[in-house]
Structure 1
Amino acid sequence: MRVDRVKYRLICAVSGAALLALAACGEKKQAAPPPGPVQVGVVTVQPQSVAVDTELPGRTTPYRVAEVRARVDGIVLKRNFVEGSDVKEGQVLYQIDPAPYQAALMSAQATLAKAQASLTSSRAQAGRYKTLVAANAVSKQSYDDAVATQGQGQADVAAGQAAVRTAEINLGYTTVRSPIAGRIGKASVTEGAYVQSSAATLLATVQQIAPLYVDLTQSSNALLRMRRNLAAGSLQSAGANATKVALVLDDGTVMPDTGHLEFTDVTVDQNTGTTTVRAVFPNAQRNLLPGMFVRARVQEATNDRALLVPMQGVTRDQKGIPTAMVVGADNKVELRNLTTTQTIGSKWVVTAGLNPGDRVIVEGTQKAKPGQTVSPVAANLPAPSSVSADSSGADGGKDGATTMAASAVAGASAAPAVGASSTLQ
């Protein structure tokens, strides 16, 4: 009995301790303070002036092309250039055998001298007959014949002079010169070859590659869209007669020189729905060669009311629509559907869904929920790297084409474009 009583007391003591511990835990749970609002990083969007640029594919073409052809018949005696080298305007390229043309010139000169001598005689005779006919010493017919002979002599002298000039020209054609300055290609003939003027034998081709043309293609639909945006005032012309173009090679290298827009063709290709845009590049280092595939970034307009949102603050919903979470005036989270057009570095240009002064969550988006109260703080983001926009974005370039409204509408222009080309719809 004594042992059972001891066990009973121990059980009661343990139970009492457990009850006290549970009570203490309950008191601690009730005393814990509620959690505070989630802290998120936000950026306040404000209208900015950004350049709208586009990237167009194209190929390089020579600024000028001169096909050097034979203009007289003869044997090529000498070639005076190195294939693939730069030549100057007027530089001697070939020497064709001049001997036959020197002989022809001498013959023409002799014929001219004979005509001049005959003219001197006939002129003197006509002068004498003029005096004699006044005294009725010779007949009127004889005087008229003397005057006619003098006129014939003058015509013979003029023909002789023309023949001499023709012979001089042909002799000059035996020395073949470059009509333009540029880079010469391979020689089409060698020494000893017989060339003909009637066949216009090709001797060589000279191409001017500094400066250089770049022929680009643009979509007519994108052109019309840019025109509408300029007319509506959502975009502004960047300035007349100063459109700048940056050139990107096929391997991604950006050329240090910038070109300018020359013109936009007035005809649209019926098969592709595109038109041609021509730009001019200085190509001072002559790194660009005719026929190369390139991409040109053309800055064609400016958007003075652009709202820029970092990419980490923009997500897609299940339908693929871009969305962003915005902190309202009461610090509650709102979900907004956005309309984006292009990118500027790591930011989207938003044209609908946001208002100036809105606070967009860019840090802690995974912790924030629509309707939740949050504690917004300024996000710590790196400084932007560029302020130019690529107009081939979601709503500005759905057909994948590009535009040239700056030149086609108002001769608009701006600085070289460096915008990204990714899209969001």
Structure 2
Amino acid sequence: MNFKNNYKAVTIFTLSLVAGTLLLTRCTKSEGGEAAAAAPAQQFPVLVLAQKQATTYQEFSTTIEGIQDIEIRPQVSGYIDRILVDEGAYVQKGQTLFIINDRIYREAHNTANARLATAKANLATAELNVEKIKPLVSNNVVSDVQLKEAEAARDAAQASVNEALALVQSASINVGYTSVKAPADGYLGKIPFKTGSLVSMSTVEPLTVLSAVKAVYAYFSFSEVDFLNFTKNIPGKTLEEKLRQIPPVALALADNSIYPHTGKVEIVSGQFNDQTGAIAFRAIFPNADGLLRSGLTGKIRIPRVVDGAVIVPQESTFELQDKVFVLAVDAKNMVTSTPIGVADRFENFYLVSTGVKSGDRIVYAGLDKLRDGTVIDPQPVSLDSLQKGK
């Protein structure tokens, strides 16, 4: 009897314990669900897109050349006695650069002067003969034939003087050519010759190259498509009028820095290159400080102003299978991956042609923490402040 009572008591206790455990488990799950449902949405910065004026740039590879790249060549043959400048030096017009041994040219000059003196003496004698014969002819002592012969001899002597003068001047010029001078202000290039080198007018290499770079030319090329777009989109009836309408252009150097002065496109070639299918343009840039040298490379940047452009920060996008996406935010603050069409780029922004429009909202940052369908707590950010920050 006691065994049965004990068995009933244990059974009742066990059932009560199980029921209590189940009840506790239900309550815990219910409270956890309510807690999960009540968890707040995560905050993310959200940008409202708007139409803005944007300036984009077409970039073209360019090569810099001085307005004058002058080959310095000897005008006479001889050995170089002295080199008075160094490679890369800035020289002024008229400054002596090289001195060629002038001994043979000075001797030639002295010989020419001696011939001139002889010719002048012969002329003086011929003139005296003419003056001596004139009164004899007047008095019919001698015939006028002798006077004419004397005058012819005088004229021949005068011709000899003129010839000797020309030889003196030629010899003097050659002596002057032994001092090779700078024809303009500018910077010198490589000097391949040394003191003692034999040079002449037929020497293949120049003594050096002088670059006049107070202003420089930047040469670049348009493809056929670029040229056709240029002729269609730039106002003007003639090509010259269209060139004048091109705004000032910038020069991006090899280190991506921007040259501090703008340039002007001034000339276009008369024909396309048969091999490259491109047509050459030339821009001119001031270079008073001598920062640019011949041979430098860079990129010409031609500006284009776009009105009413929808712009998107590049950091607010991601790429997938060669497409660019943004995370659009709908009226319920749910994010959705949306592909966009990129019409152009400027600075750190995309110009968008399709996919989003003015007034749409997109997630500005933290895209890697989100996936489609996530509801967020949007925190507005300003595009103007982002542009100022850049």
Q: Same fold judged by TM-score > 0.5?
A: yes
Structure 2 residue matching 1:271: 3-state secondary structure: coil
Residue identity matched to 2:252: A
2:109 matched to which residue of 1? 102
Distance 2:328 2:190 in 1: 63
**Cα pair distance change 1:16/1:329, threshold 3 Å:** closer
Distance 2:72 2:311 in 1: 56
310, 315, 318: which is aligned to 2:313? 310
Is it true that 1:354 corresponds to 2:356 in the alignment? yes
Is it true that 1:245 corresponds to 2:247 in the alignment? no
2:55 matched to which residue of 1? 51
Percent sequence identity over matched residues?
A: 18
Q: Which residues in structure 2 correspond to 1:31-70 (within 5 Å)? A: 39-70=43-74
Q: Which residues in structure 2 correspond to 1:146-157 (within 5 Å)? A: none
Residue identity matched to 1:68: I
Shift of 1:298: 1.8
Residue identity matched to 1:324: V
8 Å Cα contact 2:53-2:305 kept in structure 1: yes
1:72 matched to which residue of 2? 76
Structure 2 residue matching 1:254: 3-state secondary structure: coil
2:172 matched to which residue of 1? 168
Residue identity matched to 2:174: N
**Cα pair distance change 1:72/1:3, threshold 3 Å:** closer
More displaced, 25-34 or 294-303?
A: 25-34
Structure 2 residue matching 1:99: 3-state secondary structure: helix
181, 185, 188: which is aligned to 1:183? 188
Distance 1:238 1:332 in 2: 51
2:275 matched to which residue of 1? 271
Shift of 1:339: 1.4
Shift of 1:359: 1.8
Is it true that 1:337 corresponds to 2:339 in the alignment? yes
Shift of 1:179: 2.5
Residue identity matched to 2:223: S
Shift of 1:81: 1.2
8 Å Cα contact 2:250-2:259 kept in structure 1: no
8 Å Cα contact 1:129-1:146 kept in structure 2: no
Residue identity matched to 1:106: N
Distance 1:369 1:166 in 2: 90
Structure 2 residue matching 1:338: 3-state secondary structure: strand
1:409 matched to which residue of 2? none
Distance 2:389 2:228 in 1: 25
Residue identity matched to 1:42: V
Distance 2:61 2:178 in 1: 44
Distance 2:174 2:26 in 1: 122
Residue identity matched to 1:242: P
**Cα pair distance change 1:88/1:343, threshold 3 Å:** same
Root-mean-square deviation (CA, aligned residues, Å) is 4.7
Shift of 1:51: 2.9
In structure 1, runs of 5+ residues without a counterpart are 388-425
**Cα pair distance change 1:195/1:49, threshold 3 Å:** same
Q: State the number of aligned residues.
A: 372
2:7 matched to which residue of 1? 4
Residue identity matched to 2:249: T
Residue identity matched to 2:211: Q
Distance 1:257 1:30 in 2: 64
8 Å Cα contact 1:313-1:363 kept in structure 2: yes
Post-superposition Cα deviations, 1:314-371, rounded to whole Å, max 9, x if no partner, equal 2344x5322323335665656543111444443322233332232222245454636x
**Cα pair distance change 1:14/1:189, threshold 3 Å:** closer
8 Å Cα contact 1:258-1:282 kept in structure 2: yes
**Cα pair distance change 1:127/1:301, threshold 3 Å:** farther
In structure 2, runs of 5+ residues without a counterpart are 236-241
**Cα pair distance change 1:140/1:49, threshold 3 Å:** farther
8 Å Cα contact 2:211-2:294 kept in structure 1: no
14, 17, 36: which is aligned to 2:17? 14
Shift of 1:310: 1.9
Shift of 1:105: 3.4
TM-score (structure 2 length as normaliser): 0.70
Distance 2:175 2:281 in 1: 44
Residue identity matched to 2:355: G
Give the structure with the larger helix fraction.
2
Distance 1:119 1:385 in 2: 93
